[in-house]
C-alpha cells in the first residue's frame, strides 16, 4: 500500500499541477502565445511527434558523437598526465580554461573554423568541449586513486611502470571513469543544444531548432512540446548512463 | 645470522623526529613483536625493514632480496576487482611466474589459510577475517624469508583475532620466515612472539627487549599460564614506564 502510494504520489502531484494550470489558463483567459494550457501542449505533441522524434534523434546523435570524441581525447590526455607529471602540469591550466569558458562564448569561433556550411561539425565540437572536462578530471583523479598500500605492495614485488598501470592504476580508475562519463553524457546534450542555438542546424535539425522555430512563430505550445521532448531525452540518457555505471560497479567489485 | 637489521636508524617527517635512534636485529626463524604507543614509529620501522623507506641516519641491512619480503598491512588491502585467487597470485605474476602456475600456487596458499573453495570470491563477498586470511595467503605465497605484519588484526573482533593468531603461528611453523609483528596489544605480542621489543613514545627507542618464556608454537592454554601472565606484566610495566617518562 505504502509502495503504491509512493509510486502514485509524484504522478498525482503532476496531474494536480497540470489541472490547476489548465483551469487557470481558461479562467483568466491567458493568451496562448504567453502561456498555452497543457491541453494545447498535448495537441502540439500529438501533431508534431514525428518531427520531434527526428529532431531528438539528431540532437542525440550529435551528443553521442561528441561524447565519443571527448571520451577518447580526455582519457588519452589523462593517461599522458598520469604517466608524466610534466604532461599533467602542462595540461591542467588548459583543461581548466576550457572548463570555465562558457561554451556559448566560443561557439561563434568554432562556427567559423567548422565552416558555415557544416554547422553539425561545430555542434559536435562544442558539445565535445563541454563533455571533455568531467571525463578528464575523473580519469586523472581515478588514475591517482589506487590504495597507497597496494602501491607499496607493487613496490615490494618490483613491479614495472607497465604492470603498475595495467594491473593497478587503470582498474582503480574505473569507478571514476564511469562517474565522469555519466556527468559528461548529460553535459553533451546541453552542449549540443546550446551549440545549435548559436551555430544553426544545417540539414539535420535538432531540438534546439524546433524550439527556436516555434519561438519565432510565437507558437508557444509547440515550443513547450519541444522543451518537454528535450527534458525526456536528457533524463533518458542520464538514466541509461546511471544504469551503465551501476552495472559497471557491480562487475568491478563483484556484487 | 641475521636476516635483516636496523642499526641506529633515525627517521623524521617534516622535521619532526619519528623514530630512533633505533636498532633491531632479526635472526632467521624468529618472531619479534614491536609494541609501543601510537606514533612511536613502529610502522616506520617496519617500512624500513621492507625497504619501502630509507632512514635519514643509520643503516638498514637486508639479507632478503626483492620478492623475498612480504608485508601484511592493517587493512586486508586487496584489489576489489580481482578474485581471492587472483589477489593471492598477484605477487607471483608480478615477479614473472606464469599465470597458470601462479594460480595453482595461489589456490594452495588459500587452502593453507582455510579458504579452499573460495578462490573465485571477490573481497567484497568475504568477511573481514576472511579478507585478512586472503591477505596472509598473498604474503606467504612467495615463501618469503622476511614477513612483516603491521597490526594485521587491529580491525578484527577478539575471537577472530585469536583464531588468526594461531593460524599465523601454524603457518609460520611450516615456512619459518623471520617475522616482525607490530601491535599495540600486549597479550597478542606475548602470545605470538619469541621476543617482544617495547618502544618508547615517539621518536621510538627500545625500552625493553623481553624474551618469551616458552618455545614456539604455543601449547594449548598458554594464555592462562603464570609465565604468560608474568611476561605480559613485565611488558606492560615497561610500556607504562616509557609513557610516564615522556
Give residue-wise pLDDT tens across range B91-150.
999 988 888 999 999 999 999 888 889 999 999 999 988 999 999 999 989 888 899 999
Provide mean pLDDT across the span B70-77.
Answer: 90
pLDDT of residue A222: 93
pLDDT of residue A92: 86
Spatial distance between the Cα atoms of A84 and A86, rounded to a whole number of angstroms:
5
Min distance B92 CA to chain A CA atoms (Å) = 8
Question: B94 vs A163: CB contact, 8 Å cut-off?
Answer: yes
3-state secondary structure chain B: CEEEEEEEEEEEECCEEEEEEEEEEEECCCEEEEECCCCCCHHHHHHHHHCCCCCCEEEEEECCCCCCEEEECCCCCCCCCCCHHHHHHHHHHHCCCCHHHHHHHHHHHHHHCCCCCCCCCCHHHCCHHHHHHHHHHHHHCCCCCEEEEECCCCCCCHHHHHHHHHHHHHHHHHHCCEEEEEECCHHHHHHHCCEEEEECCCCECEEEEEECCCCCCCCCCHHHCHHHHHHHHHHHHHHHHHHHHC
Question: A149 vs B51: CB contact, 8 Å cut-off?
Answer: no
Using CA atoms in the order B152, B154, B155, B158, what is the torsion angle rounded to 10 degrees? 110
pLDDT of residue B65: 66
Provide mean pLDDT across the span B233-244.
Answer: 86
Spatial distance between the Cα atoms of A70 and A61, rounded to a whole number of angstroms:
14
Of B135 and B66, which is predicted with more confidence?
B135
Of B203 and A72, which is predicted with more confidence?
A72
Of B94, B122, B142, the CB nearest to A255: B122
What residues contact residue A178 under an 8 Å CB cut-off, 6+ apart?
A244, A245, A248, A249
pLDDT of residue B67: 66
Beta bridge partners of B71: B148
Confidence bin at B66 (pLDDT 50/70/90): low
pLDDT of residue A38: 92
Question: B94 vs A158: CB contact, 8 Å cut-off?
Answer: yes
Q: What percent of chain B has pLDDT over 70?
A: 98
Question: A167 vs B90: CB contact, 8 Å cut-off?
Answer: yes
Min distance B189 CA to chain A CA atoms (Å) = 23
Of B64 and A190, which is predicted with more confidence?
A190
Question: A158 vs B69: CB contact, 8 Å cut-off?
Answer: no
Cβ atoms B190, B228 nearer than 8 A: yes
pLDDT of residue A164: 92
Asked if the C-beta of B242 comes within 8 angstroms of chain A's C-beta atoms, the answer is: no
Could you report the predicted ipTM of this complex, rounded to two decimals? 0.85
What's this model's pTM, rounded to 2 decimal places?
A: 0.83
* Residue ranges of chain A whose pLDDT lies below 50: none
Provide mean pLDDT across the span B204-229.
Answer: 83
Among B67, B72, B81, B145, most A C-beta atoms within 10 A, so best to mutate, is B81
pLDDT of residue B2: 81
pLDDT of residue A86: 92
Min distance A167 CA to chain B CA atoms (Å) = 9
Min distance A233 CA to chain B CA atoms (Å) = 33
Provide mean pLDDT across the span B34-57.
Answer: 88
Cell of B114: 582455510
Q: What 8-state DSSP symbol labels residue A201?
A: -
Amino acid at each position: 500500500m505504502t509502495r503504491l502510494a509512493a509510486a502514485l504520489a509524484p504522478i498525482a502531484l503532476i496531474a494536480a499541477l497540470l489541472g490547476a494550470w489548465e483551469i487557470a489558463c481558461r479562467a483568466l483567459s491567458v493568451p496562448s502565445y504567453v502561456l498555452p494550457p497543457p491541453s494545447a501542449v498535448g495537441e502540439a505533441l500529438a501533431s508534431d511527434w514525428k518531427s520531434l522524434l527526428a529532431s531528438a534523434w539528431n540532437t542525440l546523435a550529435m551528443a553521442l558523437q561528441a561524447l565519443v570524441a571527448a571520451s577518447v581525447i580526455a582519457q588519452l590526455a589523462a593517461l599522458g598526465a598520469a604517466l608524466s607529471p610534466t604532461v599533467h602540469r602542462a595540461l591542467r591550466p588548459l583543461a581548466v580554461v576550457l572548463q570555465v569558458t562558457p561554451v556559448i562564448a566560443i561557439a561563434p569561433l568554432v562556427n567559423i573554423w567548422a565552416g558555415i556550411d557544416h554547422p553539425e561539425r561545430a555542434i559536435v565540437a562544442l558539445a565535445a568541449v563541454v563533455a571533455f572536462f568531467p571525463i578528464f578530471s575523473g580519469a586523472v583523479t581515478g588514475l591517482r586513486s589506487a590504495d597507497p598500500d597496494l602501491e607499496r605492495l607493487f613496490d615490494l614485488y618490483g613491479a614495472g611502470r607497465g604492470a603498475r598501470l595495467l594491473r593497478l592504476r587503470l582498474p582503480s580508475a574505473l569507478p571514476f571513469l564511469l562517474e565522469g562519463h555519466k556527468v559528461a553524457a548529460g553535459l553533451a546534450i546541453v552542449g549540443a543544444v546550446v551549440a545549435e542555438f548559436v551555430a544553426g542546424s544545417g540539414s539535420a535539425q535538432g531540438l534546439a531548432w524546433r524550439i527556436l522555430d516555434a519561438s519565432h512563430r510565437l507558437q508557444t505550445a509547440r515550443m513547450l512540446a519541444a522543451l518537454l521532448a528535450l527534458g525526456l531525452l536528457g533524463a533518458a540518457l542520464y538514466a541509461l548512463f546511471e544504469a551503465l555505471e551501476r552495472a559497471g560497479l557491480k562487475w568491478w567489485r563483484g556484487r | 645470522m641475521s636476516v635483516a637489521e636496523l642499526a641506529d636508524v633515525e627517521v623524521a617527517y617534516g622535521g619532526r623526529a619519528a623514530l630512533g635512534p633505533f636498532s633491531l636485529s632479526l635472526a632467521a626463524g624468529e618472531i619479534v613483536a614491536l609494541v609501543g604507543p601510537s606514533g612511536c614509529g613502529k610502522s616506520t620501522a617496519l617500512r624500513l625493514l621492507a625497504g619501502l623507506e630509507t632512514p635519514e641516519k643509520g643503516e638498514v641491512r637486508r639479507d632478503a632480496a626483492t620478492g623475498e619480503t612480504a608485508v601484511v598491512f592493517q587493512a586486508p588491502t586487496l584489489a576489489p576487482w580481482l578474485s581471492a585467487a587472483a589477489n593471492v597470485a598477484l605477487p607471483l605474476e608480478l615477479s614473472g611466474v606464469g599465470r597458470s602456475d601462479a594460480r595453482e600456487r595461489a589456490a594452495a596458499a588459500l587452502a593453507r589459510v582455510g579458504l579452499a573453495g573460495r578462490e573465485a570470491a571477490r573481497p567484497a563477498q568475504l568477511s573481514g577475517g576472511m579478507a585478512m586470511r586472503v591477505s596472509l595467503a598473498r604474503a606467504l605465497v612467495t615463501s618469503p624469508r622476511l614477513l612483516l605484519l603491521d597490526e594485521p588484526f587491529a580491525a578484527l573482533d577478539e575471537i577472530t583475532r585469536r583464531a588468526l593468531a594461531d593460524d599465523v603461528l601454524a603457518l609460520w611453523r611450516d615456512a619459518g620466515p623471520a617475522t616482525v609483528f607490530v601491535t599495540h596489544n600486549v597479550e597478542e605480542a606475548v602470545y605470538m612472539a619469541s621476543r617482544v621489543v617495547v618502544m618508547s613514545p615517539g621518536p621510538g627507542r627500545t625500552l625493553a627487549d623481553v624474551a618469551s618464556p616458552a618455545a614456539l608454537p604455543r601449547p594449548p592454554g598458554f594464555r592462562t599460564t603464570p609465565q604468560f601472565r608474568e611476561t605480559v606484566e613485565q611488558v606492560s610495566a615497561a610500556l607504562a614506564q616509557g609513557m610516564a617518562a615522556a
